[in-house]
Structure 1
Amino acid sequence: MTHRDRFRAAVGGLPPVFWTLWTGMLLNRLASFVATFLALYLTQERGFTIAEAGRVVALYGVGITVAGPIGGSLADRVGRRFTMLLGLVLGSASVAALGFTRDPTALAFLAFLAAATGELYRPAVNAAVADVVPPADRRRAFGLIYWAVNLGWALGLAFAGVVAQRSIVALFLLDAATTLAFAFVIVARVPETRPAGLPRHPPLEGLLRVFKDGPYVAFLFLNLAALVVFTQFQLAAPLDMAAHGVGPSTFSFLMALNGVGVVLLQPTLAPQLRRFDGAHLLAASVLLFGLGFGVNALGGSLPLYVLGVVLWTVGEVVGFPVASALVSDLAPPELRGRYQGAFSMTWGLAFTLSPIFGGELLERFGGPTLWLSCLGVGGAVAIGHLLAAPPRRRRLAALGVAAPDEAEASGAAAPEA
């Protein structure tokens, strides 16, 4: 197979609306800095203690948690396009206001509001991708979006550390600007993608249907536990690194290394991973998260931090596109937004629980205890994914989603099994 054939296999056959959303996600992620720098902003520029900052950062996670079901319900009842625009415009305004606020109570409220409004768009974007991309191409499509997100992340963080040394507020303003730019892209190029004629369930009824789906709920709990480990970069990792002499610029370099790693690894690994069982990939992914943060227990040197970032970066590449495709495959068309909203909610809960657990363990028991706990949770969740796989496979088979080996035999790469 030539390089041209490989390129066509990787990006060919996807609709124009997908590529417009892909471009908007790339643009938005060029300056998505709040989650990464909020803890440093609160402790270094606003005088918060570690525990106080942890509680405010947790409120940011609560905002994401709330945004998931609200954004998902709006995407199913009102439409994908309106929901994306509402979230992006309100999110941009909230992030900009966060940078100019000094009152502790107002900072806490705006941290919540920035996430609650700014993350409304995410379930709608993912539902729109599922609307326009057939099941056989979804793992590939979500992998490409994941690649774009990390390309933007890497490019943005390449200069974010230098800017942060002078003004974290400037980073928040850049974040607000790129969020608003994504909204303009949607206004210009994205139509409504929700299929016509689908039933519109009342908000509560639709959510109850999601949470009655046993295999999906099991996946959500496992995904939440995995993300609590993964999101330790939000608070505990930068503060522990700072205690070992690693400042904002070096932390920014490590986060950029994560983004660059995804950009380089995703095109290489993704074609090789398509033939593997999804449950095995999810288990390997969370185990790599645990190892990546667990190595920090060995000391506070830069080489160990680099090794850790490499490990959990590989874990991202292995598991995140599989998880996104799985959500789309399990969701009935009329509930795609709500299924995506519940999936987004696990991210919000992780952003809520991670700084609470991480901050408390770090402050009370020290870094080694925290990082070894991450390793233990990673191993336990990996086993959980393997045990939860059979019911999920039966559910996907009933929905007519082919297993990876079946798709390979027919010449297509199918999503998660």
Structure 2
Amino acid sequence: MNTSSRFPPFPFAGLRGICRPAHIALFLYLLAGLADGTLMPFFALWAKHDAGIATACIGLLLGCYAGGELLATPLVGGIADRVGRRPVLLASTAGIGVGFLLLYAAHGVVWAAGSLIFIGCFESVLHPTLATVIADTVSPDALRRHFASARVMSNLGGVVGPIFGALLALHSLGSVFLGCASSLLLGALVVAVFLPETWQKEWGRSAEEDDDEGLAGVLPAFRDKQLAALLLGFACLEIAGSWIESVLPLYAHNGGVLTPSGVGLLFAYGAALIVVLQRVVTKLSARLSAFWLVLGSALTLVAAFVILLLHPFLLSLIAAVTLFSFAQMLFGPLIPTTVNELAPPAARSTYMAAASVMNDLRDTLGPTTGTLLYAASAKLPWMLGMPIALSATWAIAIASRRHGRPPGRDGLDMAGEGSLEAHGTGGELDEPVQMSASKSPLFLHFR
């Protein structure tokens, strides 16, 4: 099928068969995961030992990263629905790379906080637009598998990132920021050279509609009650899980169990589990109800918290990270799939930005609350994490039943007779994907 009307010419048109937009998006997930994996295990240690910041304030400083996203999303969260995916991704990757260079050169808390806010502002459109590129070009039947693949690539970066960061940390903890910058600047180069545009101008809305909708148009979760309720439950569950990521490095280091490099290797192991097993878990759980997937994720997190309540030793930390990784495998691909099935084509990027706001709340409230709780008591995050995870699951179940939409499909097969994968296309389309929630299999999963 001719795609010339869909993808305008770009410098390396002969590589289009290899460099499909969804493949490029997956590669950018890899680079973003590499940057996160390089940064996260060492940021708290850098802040405490190099920057001299009090433990209770580390989460607030890290919260500036997500705070920049929260500040920018109401203004630019849905901009890819107006100017296209390619320019947004180019500006985002380049901006984040420059932000990490500023962070490397930072002297003092104010400069560091400003650099993190700068990074967050550009980060606010990166993941929503990457998810939108996949949704633009992938069959609805193949979406959950592709979003699972996105998690695999992100966590593959999370495997390499802590190892890369551990090597950089041997020189200095601040050197990890140079590794983050190089990853995102490489992403900017890939976007500039290889990525075609996947946005259709006929999807765009008029200027009058944009002016009238304002903030509600950028954050449709405030208008779509079902989306808002589900995302709120998802955010609470992820905030509880994020305490393992943000607090465990301090918990392990202060307990004398792991060195900074050992912490990096532990998180590399957790990411490696997701890389190896994510697609297997997604395939095995394809016919499970989404509610049972969320419940399984919550119970797995509870088990991790119970283990962490024990005195910290190496085996307990490994077991907790293992359970956390399995919880992410069950739960992670559901969020973008749910959001895409609710989104009309003209607002696909905007709806993904609404989901990104929930992630920003997790990234802001998770480290902040986690480190504050840890400063009060080393085991308090694990004690509170258990009821929060279970309560969030209950809230998701209530929201899905209260606001449930009537399903329009009988089958739950994610790669059945009518899917593109069954016909050998791998789920990628030559025409833009349009799908309404009333024809979505996922809402049947919730019911």
TM-score, normalised to structure 2, is 0.84
Name the CA distance, whole Å, in 2 between partners of 1:266 and 1:44.
Answer: 35
Structure 2 gaps of 5+ residues are: 1-16, 422-439
- 1:230 equivalent in structure 2: 241
Superposed counterparts of 1:320-359, under 5 Å: 320-359=332-371
Distance 1:391 1:192, change over 3 A: farther
Question: In the alignment, which of 17, 21, 24 is matched to residue 20 of structure 1?
Answer: 24
Instruction: Name which of 196, 203, 219 aligns with 1:198.
Output: 203
Name the counterpart of 1:31: 35
Q: SS at 1:394's partner residue?
A: coil
Pair 1:162-2:167 in alignment: yes
- In the TM superposition, what is the alpha-carbon distance from 1:194 to its structure 2 partner? 1.6
Q: Is the Cα–Cα contact under 8 Å of residues 236 and 359 in structure 1 kept in the other structure?
A: yes
| Distance 1:258-1:403 versus aligned 2 partners, 3 A rule | farther
The residue type paired with residue 240 of structure 1 is Y
Instruction: Verify the 8 A CA contact 1:61 1:112 in the aligned structure 2.
Output: yes
The 3-state SS of whatever aligns with 2:122 is: helix
1:365-404 matched pairs, under 5 angstroms: 366-391=377-402, 393-394=404-405, 397=407, 400=408, 402=409
Give the Cα separation in 1 of the matches to 2:345 and 2:183.
Answer: 30
CA, structure 1 residues 411+303, in 2 after alignment: closer, same or farther (shift >3 Å)?
farther
Deviations 1:59-87 (A, max 9, x none): 22212323444443211122111111111
Instruction: Work out whether residues 137 and 415 of structure 1, in 8 Å CA contact, stay in contact via their aligned partners in 2.
Output: no
User: Match of 1:280?
Assistant: 292
2:284 pairs with 1:258: no
CA contact (8 A) 2:25 2:130 kept: yes
How far apart, CA to CA, are the structure 1 residues paired with 2:115 and 2:199? 31
Relative to structure 1, the CA distance from residue 75 to residue 403 in structure 2 (aligned partners, 3 Å threshold; closer, same or farther) is: farther
1:279-336 Cα shifts (integer Å, max 9, x gaps) = 2212222332333234211121111111111111001111101222111111111111
> Deviations along 1:326-369, whole A, 9 cap, x unmatched?
111111111111111111111111111112211221112x1222
Give the whole-Å Cα distance in 1 for the aligned partners of 2:320 and 2:336: 24
Q: Residue 416 in 1 paired to residue 442 in 2?
A: yes
Q: How big is the shift at 1:208?
A: 5.4
Residues 101 and 409 (structure 1), Cα distance of their counterparts in 2 relative to 1, 3 Å cut: closer
Name the TM-score, length of structure 1 as normaliser: 0.89
Matched, 1:123 2:128: yes
Partner in structure 2 of residue 362 of structure 1: 374
In the alignment, the residues of structure 1 paired with residue 414 and residue 34 of structure 2 have an alpha-carbon distance, to the nearest angstrom, of 35
* Residue 190 to residue 159, structure 1, CA distance change in 2 (3 Å): closer
SS at match of 1:405: coil
Indicate the residue corresponding to 1:303 in structure 2: 315
* CA gap 1:107/1:409 in 2 versus in 1, 3 angstroms: closer
| Greater share of helix | 1
Q: Which residue of 1 aligns with 2:435?
A: none
Residue of structure 2 in register with 1:147 after alignment? 152
Q: 1:405 and 2:409 equivalent?
A: no
1:291 maps to 2:299: no
Q: What CA deviation, in whole Å up to 9, does each residue of 1:111-130 have, x standing for no partner? A: 22222223422111111111
- CA offset at residue 415 of structure 1? 5.8
Count of matched residue positions in the alignment of Structure 1 and Structure 2: 400
Q: Percent identical across equivalent pairs?
A: 25
The amino acid of 1:285's aligned partner reads S
Q: 1:3 is matched with which residue?
A: none
Alignment of 1:56 with 2:50, yes or no, is no
Paired residue secondary structure (2:405) = helix
3-state SS of paired residue (1:101)? coil
**Residue in 2 that maps onto 1:9:** none
Structure 1 equivalent of residue 140 of structure 2: 135
The corresponding residue for 1:45 is 50
Whether contact under 8 Å (1:76, 1:334) holds in the other structure is yes
Unmatched 5+ residue regions in structure 1? 1-12
Q: Secondary structure, in 3 states, of the residue corresponding to 1:197? A: helix
**1:122 and 1:114, CA in 2 relative to 1: closer, same or farther beyond 3 A?**
same
Output the amino acid matched with 2:21: V
